[in-house]
Amino acid sequence: MRASLQTSLQSCYTYIPQVLGLRYIDYLFLGDYVDRGQHSLETMTLLLALKVEHPHNVHLIRGNHEAADINALFGFRIECIERMGERDGIWAWHRINRLFNWLPLAALIEKKIICMHGGIGRSINHVEQIENIQRPITMEAGSIILMDLLWSDPTENDSVEGLRPNARGPGLVTFGPDRVMEFCNNNDLQLIVRAHECVMDGFERFAQGHLITLFSATNYCGTANNAGAILVLGRDLVVVPKLIHPLPPALSSPENSPERMEDTWMQELNANRPPTPTRGRPQTANDRGSLAWI
């Protein structure tokens, strides 16, 4: 079974670049590659392998879980130890977190669309503020700009303006549509794309369409039953969302099966960590040189 799986993964890795069109399409990922789900190691291994193989077409920016103090608490460290043993697991966890410190915090597409994990919060008024942050970036730096980029969220809807306390924790904020419009006007931008929140339809517009929240994982943590989405940008920067619908529930496995044991392990982890808040409700019925790192 292990040999068959290895063969399947090798075939899959050979086939993925052809399916994704990696020789002529750029892919940008918005962070949170670890903690949320039971295959963080596979996710990071695949993303890094694709980045090595296609360095000009695969782009990764940093999320709030790409930080050792966070992913030590919310699952990634435990997963490394469970899967690789304590010595090798801790070694891998440290090495991957060292890599996270070098990830960019944002990306600028054609100087018109800025992409980040969290948001602009209270402190970010100009793109240059992000450009001036030197890498490697450790969370111990603790700057307000860093916290806003990785942790802030839009307010509940377009009618809630200004800055408000964020339910995620003390010192964190939500920002209203007025902040979005001000930031876009100050920087001659047409759109902010961010992640960080589970949205039921995979994407959600805010600030009259000048901000989009994007969430690509379906059925978040096995409980949300949300759709995922990706955004496709053409050369004219027209944004087209593509939805990814969750798979139907799997048939139940025997109590002692590896799948059931893995599910139990994830349930224990999820019980001890706060979930990403679900935003919204279910509905009824680039050129290679155009991506600038910040």
What positions carry a catalytic annotation? 65
**DSSP, res 222:** G
Question: Which of 170, 173, 224 shows the shortest CA–CA distance to 202?
Answer: 224
Q: Alpha-carbon distance 110 to 278, whole Å?
A: 31
Q: Alpha-carbon distance 250 to 142, whole Å?
A: 42
String of DSSP letters for 121-166: TTT--SHHHHHTPPSS--GGG--HHHHHHHH-EE-SSTT--SEEE-
Q: From residue 170, give the alpha-carbon distance in Å to each of 61, 174, 284.
A: 25, 12, 35
Q: Rounded to the nearest 5°, which phi and psi values hold at 95? A: -65, -45
Contact 22, 50 (CB under 8 A): yes
Please tell me the total number of residues recorded for the chain in this structure: 294
Question: Which of 236, 121, 124 shows the shortest CA–CA distance to 186?
Answer: 124
Which 3-state string (H, E, C) describes 235-294? CCCCEEEEEECCCCCCCCCCCCCHHHHHHHHHHHHHHCCCCCCEECCCCCCCCHHHEEEC
Q: Which two tokens stand for residue 127?
A: 């793109």
Element (DSSP H or E) covering residue 204: strand 203-206
